[in-house]
Structure 1
Amino acid sequence: MNWDQIKGNWKQLKGKAQKEWGKLTDDDFRMIEGEQTQLIGRVQERYGYTREQAEKAVADWHDRNQ
């Protein structure tokens, strides 16, 4: 599944993302709206990850949810 598909199916995938990143708020998820860069930025901010760590975490989540 590519990011265009994730964006299109965000309402369904949001639950999986919420389970993965419990520190993200409902407002965070509304702002993300399936955008990869937004998700990376929010994960980086909430978890104190480096950009690379956040990118890897999001990529791993993406790979598991294809």
Structure 2
Amino acid sequence: MGLGLGVISYIVGLFILYIIIETAVRRGINSSIIGQYLEKKYGIKDIREKKKSFLDDDLDKD
């Protein structure tokens, strides 16, 4: 029982660490000079902002 709890807590800890690092990298790139340049020149936005749900790809919306 103790080993299973240890493995689960390890996995949860790694997942939380992944979220923190991913958020920090995304914010760092978006706020950098190169990130602002790319956004201004090419209009590149975050992919998650463009596609809000699976209904955006609905074939019946046309």
Per residue, is there more helix in 1 or in 2? 2
Which structure exhibits the higher relative contact order, with contacts defined as CA atoms closer than 8 Å and separated by 6 or more residues? Answer: 1
Greater C-alpha Rg: 2
TM over 0.5: no
Q: What's the TM-score once normalised by structure 2's chain length?
A: 0.27
TM-score by length of 1: 0.26
